[in-house]
Amino acid sequence: MSVSRSLLVALSALLAVVSIPVAAQYSLPPAPYAYNQLADPDQEAVAQDLMETLRCLKCQSQSIADSDAPMAGDMRHQVRTRIEMGEEPEAIRAWLVARYGDYVSYAPTVSETTWPLFAVPLLLILLAAIILWRRLRART
Amino acid sequence: MKRWTLWVPLALFALFIGVAAYQLTQPKNDFIVSAMIGQPLPEFDLRAASLDRPALKTGDLRDGKPRLLNVFASWCIPCVAEAPHLETLRRQGVDIVAIAIRDRPQDVARFLANYGNPYSRIGADDLSEVQLAIGSSGVPETFVVDGQGIIRYQHIGDIRASDVPLLMQKLAEAQ
Amino acid sequence: MIAELGLAALWLAAALAVLQLVAGALSQREGAEELAALVRPAAIVQGFIAAFAFLMLLVLFAQTDLSVKLVAMNSHSDKPMIFKLSGAFGNHEGSMLLWITVMALAGSLIAAVERRLPEKTMLATLAAQAFVGVGFYAFLLLSSNPFERLPEPALEGMGLNPLLQDIGLVFHPPTLYIGYVGLSVAFSFAVGALLTRQVTPDFARAMRPWVLGAWIFLTLGITAGSYWAYYELGWGGWWFWDPVENASLMPWLAATALLHSASVLASRDALRTWTIMLGVVAFSMSMVGTFLVRSGILTSVHAFAVDPERGTFILGLLVIYIGGALLLFGLRAGTVSEGTRFSVTSREGALVFNNVMLTALLGIVLLGTLYPLFTEAFDVRVSVGPPYFNPVGAIFVVPMLMVMAVGPLLRWRKDSISRIRLPLLIIGGATLAALVLISLLTSIAILPLLGLVLAVGLGIGSFMPIRGRKLRLLPIATWGMMVAHFGIAVALFGMASESAFSEETLAAVAIGGSAEVGPWNIVLTEVSPTAGPNWTALEGRLLASYDGAAAIEVNPQSRNFWAPPQETTESALATRWNGQLYAVVGREAGDGRWQLRLWWKPFVTFIWYGGILVALGGVLALIGRVMADLKRRAIKSRGAIRRAETAA
């Protein structure tokens, strides 16, 4: 066989092999609260708001609320379980950030790594004000 | 517009080019490093994941001896690749315990039968609870835990031959 | 044979681009009439030949010619024909070929149709267009050849990512690319004007229809992309501030600001520097976006080929083109004198305010998108997403919407608030009433509340210019403006409503069991296997009843593709005038029950109806401008004939 043909055959075989064990991630059922909502709608709303701001670690740019990855399901289980037990959303977020760093949270916090994200909008507001002031002073 | 303000867009663009060019030279690495390094292990008590190895709880890792904690799963392809290197470490006297993520006992047994069993204990983490609690974001990952149960080092991805000396060194530092 | 034809055509088109560039550049000198005469024909022929090359690629995909590497990697004999064709541009090389084809065709169109520019500026513009083209031709031919052959034909193709095998993929990339790359015309115009120092109202009038055209397609492309992600990705999100989404939004923001700025320049000969800068920035954003998507330095669901080598090539192109244009801007824009003055309360004033807000928003989106890239250089990883973009963006969007509601009512140059106090009162009153009503009747967060309220105000305000004018005499372009602004209000209403009033139900339902979401009652009647051309699926049959009305059937699927092996969820939608039911069937939840995810999203369709209205407004504006221009030309030529007759 030529190199590229055997390469393609090998690739197809690998894909077939990969797909089976990856599907085995699903051989255990999802965590109880991965796909079940909390009984109390207010608590569920709080949990949902929090989940939309936590990042799925195995996905490329998705929140755990949007992802079907098993790990995201496990994280949703954690969030819902803790909310049900009365934990504050910010405490849960802090717990996750203590384990994974700022990466896991989409919610902006002012820290020594994120301060430009807040300084720049303020700067822009200032710049906008200056530009508008200079341009629009009554000139006719 | 004032003269100097005309150069602001170019200056900003130059900044962008600098950062982008630098980033292009860096190897693409999607790893999320655990923030728990230097922190003690959380309290956990997992059931046994396989019939011929005992279960795993935090107390087992606080007996004064540094060891490796390997996070793996039977459905994880790179775990197959690192199995021989784990065996190498075991033969050099390293105690390796494992957490199996989302795995049925029969699948764990099959994996160990096929690729070897370097572990002294294996705990089953069905809901990824312990994995989340130690800041691990995927499989395989290997943690160096010292005798007091404190996480000292994290190796993300499968262990290659070139990683073995490094892990030995980290274990020695954790004494 | 066909692949070689395509490749040869591509080389030929590249050569023509070089000719166009050289001839256009050299013809800036005096006495170069023969060279000048070459430029337009070169541009026109280049477009046709590039289009021919793209056509050859389409033929290769239609035939599933597995001796071509691109086809082998991205196609499969079992795919339906339409997806075979759309697969041609659903990959890095093919989409770059689409990019260069649109660019070449845009250049042809300018050369064939544009008559309003002074000759030198026109040639400089075509040279600039060719200059940018040459770099991208080089990129294609040297590092991303779509026509590369395999040493031996593959046995079978590797298929196209199942997520992309959808009707949305047939529309989204082409419209988006015509928009993205159409902005290169504005870029070339701006560079041409800077080079020949011809920043005049005529220049703005000439540029405006081109920007409008590109902007219309970009609006449609973004709207289509949003809707496609919404129903295809299976969790009901329509915008996530993902880096690639932002890469399409940033040119749109710049182009919107450019449109308005060019209007001021065309009507009032003001905002010259700003218009030029926006012309450069808009296409620069397109190019930066292309770089981000294809270099692999940003993590995204959408990212294309992850290849740092290609990334470096594109970065080099960016340095030459954007760096060059901004350098030119810094050097020459200072010599562009500012036009006539105007007061704060005037249409110019409102448009300046609009421009500043749009540019600030562009800055925020750029910052948020690039910030993770910036921190990674310091080995720190952060995530910037909706919780940042929504509130920070709102800081600039809210004032902009408020001014947008009343700006069109102001006169040019100088006006007073008291003159428009009646419409102001009406708009303000309606906004306030909406605020009170919605706050009392519901308890929603501040941002969606602001969105709903401002949508009401803007919706009413956008049609206020009709007041006191005869409907039949209103110029078409004014209708365009009103419809486009109204479209923004409609889309905003949809966005706010979806955010505030969506309801979700997750339930494990047995066959025959039911679940509720909002006013809907849903019964799962069966889950059965089904198959398609290159997939098998489990299809759920749901009977959904709104508030007790007759039940309708919705059929969500969980599909398994085999080339490449992947699972996708096909959501089922039931659309009413007041919202959509969104149903997804998941896995078996054990003991014969099935996981159902159900959403009721009130008024969510307004988001995309609004987008279409915005594009429609643009179309009306374009028609109006083109007709007005033709009329002006006819009058001019009639006047010229009359003067010639009197002189004779």
User: What are the pLDDT digits (tens) for C515-531?
Assistant: 999 999 999 999 999 99
Interchain contact, B128 vs A99, CB within 8 Å: no
Span C101-124, average pLDDT: 91
CB-based contact C264:C348 (threshold 8 Å)? yes
Residues of C in contact with A43 (CB under 8 A): none
Instruction: Please name which of C379, C506, C500, C365 lies closest in space to residue C445, comparing C-alpha atoms.
Output: C500
> Which pLDDT score is estimated for C491?
97
Tokens describing residue C43: 């541009």
User: What is the spatial distance between Cα C315 and Cα C608, in angstroms, rounded to a whole number?
Assistant: 34
pLDDT of residue A9: 42
Q: What is the pLDDT of residues A100-132, one digit of tens each?
A: 988 999 988 888 888 999 999 999 999 888 888
Q: Does C329 touch chain B (CB under 8 A)?
A: yes
The DSSP element (H or E) to which C461 belongs, if any, is: helix C446-462
Rounded average pLDDT over A45-70: 90
The answer to whether residue A131 neighbours chain C at the CB level (below 8 Å) is yes
Q: Round to whole Å and give the CA distance between A32 and A21.
A: 22
C106 within some domain: yes
Q: What is the mean pLDDT of residues C362-369?
A: 94
Using the 3D structure, point to which of C563, C581, C602 is the last residue of a domain: C602
Q: What is the mean pLDDT of residues C243-248?
A: 90
pLDDT category of residue A92 using cuts at 50, 70 and 90: very high
With cut-offs at 50, 70 and 90, classify the pLDDT of residue A17.
very low
User: Which residues in chain A (25-64) have CB-CB distances under 8 A to chain C?
Assistant: 26, 29-30, 35-37, 48, 52-53, 55, 59-63
Based on DSSP, count helices (H) and strands (E) in chain C, helices before strands.
18, 10
Task: Read off the amino acid at residue A7.
Answer: L
Which tokens belong to B123?
Answer: 């705990």
Provide the β-strand partners of residue C394. Answer: none
Contacts of C7 (CB under 8 A, 6+ apart): C53, C145, C147
Q: Please report the pLDDT score of residue A26 as a whole number.
A: 67
Instruction: Provide the mean pLDDT of chain A.
Output: 80
**Structural domain count, chain C:** 2
Q: What is the pLDDT of residues C314-365, one digit of tens each?
A: 999 999 999 999 999 998 887 666 667 777 888 888 998 999 999 999 999 9
Whether residue A24 is predicted with pLDDT greater than 60 in this model: the reply is no
Chain C residues in contact with A123 by the CB 8 A cut-off are none
Give the integer Cα–Cα distance in Å for B61 and C608. 56
- Measured distance CA(C366)–CA(C246) in Å, rounded: 8
pTM here is 0.91
Closest by CA position to C14, among listed C110, C112, C100: C100
Interface of A with B in 7-36 (CB under 8 A): 18, 21-22, 24-25, 27-28, 31
Q: Is B36 on the interface with A (CB under 8 A)?
A: yes
| Domain membership flag for residue C304 | no
Domain interval for residue C86: 1-162
Question: Does B17 touch chain C if contact means CB atoms closer than 8 Å?
Answer: yes
Q: How confident is the model at residue B109, as a pLDDT?
A: 92
* Mean pLDDT for the stretch of residues C538-562: 90
C161 contacts chain A (CB < 8 A): no
Q: How many CB atoms lie within 10 A of CB C467?
A: 11
Residue B103's contacts (CB-CB under 8 Å, 6 or more residues apart) are A27, A28, B49, B73, B74, B75, B124, B126
List C-alpha distances in Å: A100 to B34, B135, C86, C378: 5, 5, 40, 17
Classify residue C327: in a domain, yes or no. Answer: no
pLDDT, tens digit, 9 for 90 and up, residues C474-485 = 899 999 999 999
Count the residues in chain B.
175
Written as one letter, the residue type at C399 is: P
- Using the 3D structure, point to which of C145, C162, C179 is the last residue of a domain: C162
Closest CA to C63 of C77, C52, C43, C73: C77
Residue C567, classified by CB atoms within 10 Å of its CB into exposed (0-12), middle (13-18) or buried (19+), is middle
Interface test with A, best of B30, B79, B128 (most A CBs within 10 A): B128
- What pLDDT score was predicted for residue A4? 42
Residue C347 lies in a domain: no
| A8, pLDDT greater than 50 | no
Asked if pLDDT for residue B80 goes beyond 90, the answer is yes
Residue C11 in any domain: the answer is yes
Any chain B CB within 8 A of the CB of C311? yes
CB-based contact B75 A71, cutoff 8 Å = no
C-alpha–C-alpha distance, residues B90 and B112, integer Å: 15
Closest-approach residue (CA) in chain A for B133 = A99
Residue C223 lies in a domain: no
C536 sits in which H/E element: strand C535-546
In chain C, what percentage of residues exceed pLDDT 70?
Answer: 97
Cβ distance A47 to A80 under 8 Å?
yes
Which of A26, A116, A128 comes nearest C356 by C-beta? A128
Nearest alpha carbon to residue C184 among C225, C232, C134? C134
The pLDDT of residue A11 is 42
The pLDDT-based confidence of C266 (bands split at 50, 70, 90) is confident
- Is residue B43 predicted with pLDDT exceeding 90? yes
Yes or no: say if B119 and B96 are a contact pair by the CB < 8 Å rule. Answer: yes
Cβ contacts (< 8 Å) between C349 and chain A: which residues? 136
- Estimate to the nearest angstrom the gap between the alpha carbon of C434 and the chain centroid: 31
Tokens of C441: 């009747």
Put the strands of the sheet holding C593-602 in their side by side order.
C503-510, C593-602, C579-588, C572-576
Question: Whose structure tokens read 């517009």?
Answer: B1
pLDDT at B129 over 60: yes
- Summarize the confidence of residues C161-190 as an average pLDDT: 88
Confidence of residue C403 (pLDDT cuts 50, 70, 90): very high
State residue B141's pLDDT score: 94
Which of C129, C162, C195 is the last residue in one of the domains?
C162
- Per-residue pLDDT for A88 more than 50? yes
Q: Pick B6's closest partner by Cβ from C297, C323, C330.
A: C330
User: Residue B118, preceding bond cis, omega within 30 degrees?
Assistant: no
C110-126: b (≥16 Cβ within 10 Å) or e = bbeebeebbebbbbbbb
* Average pLDDT of span A19-30: 60
Please tell me the distance from the alpha carbon of residue C388 to that of residue A75, in angstroms, as a whole number: 22
Length of chain A: 140
Eight-state DSSP code of residue A102: G
Q: Which helix (H) or strand (E) holds B99?
A: strand B96-101
- Average predicted confidence (pLDDT) for chain C: 90
Largest Cα span, chain C: 98
Least confident of C161-165, C284-288, C410-414: C161-165
Q: How would residue C76 be classed by pLDDT, with cut points 50, 70 and 90? A: confident
Cis ω for the linkage preceding B78 (within 30 of 0):
no
Question: Is residue C593 a part of any domain in this protein?
Answer: yes
Flag whether residue C380 sits within 8 Å of chain B, measured between CB atoms: no
Q: Of C26-35, C336-345, C590-599, where does the model show the most confidence?
A: C590-599
Q: What 8-state DSSP symbol labels residue A140? A: -
pLDDT band for position B35 (cuts 50, 70, 90): very high
Cα B80 to Cα B140: distance, rounded to the nearest angstrom:
10
Closest CA to C173 of C246, C250, C98: C98
pLDDT given at position C379: 83
User: C413 with C343: CB under 8 angstroms?
Assistant: yes
CA distance C439 to C436: 5
> Is A1 a residue whose pLDDT tops 50?
no
Taking 80 as the threshold, does the pLDDT of residue C305 lie above it? no
Confidence at residue B41, expressed as pLDDT on a 0 to 100 scale? 93
Q: Which helix (H) or strand (E) holds B56?
A: strand B56-57
Confidence band (pLDDT; 50, 70, 90) for C9?
A: very high
The per-residue b/e assignment along C61-79, b for 16 or more CB within 10 angstroms, e otherwise, is: beebbbebbbbbbbbbebb
pLDDT at position C234, please? 73
**How far is the C-alpha of C363 from the C-alpha of C370, rounded, in Å?**
10
The closest alpha carbon to C491, from C406, C605, C578, belongs to C605
Minimal CA–CA distance to B112: which of B94, B95, B87, B89?
B87
Give the pLDDT band (50/70/90) at residue C58: very high
Q: How far apart are CA C537 and CA C7, in angstroms?
A: 40
Give a yes or no: residue C120 inside a domain.
yes
Hey, is B144 helix, strand or coil? Answer: strand
Q: Per-residue confidence at A3, pLDDT binned at 50, 70, 90?
A: very low
Task: Write down all domains in chain B, each with its CATH number in brackets.
Answer: 45-173 (3.40.30.10)
Q: How confident is the model at residue C622 (pLDDT cuts 50, 70, 90)?
A: very high
Cβ atoms C604, C593 nearer than 8 A: no
Nearest to A64 by CA among A39, A92, A84: A92
Confidence category of residue B31, pLDDT binned at 50, 70, 90? confident
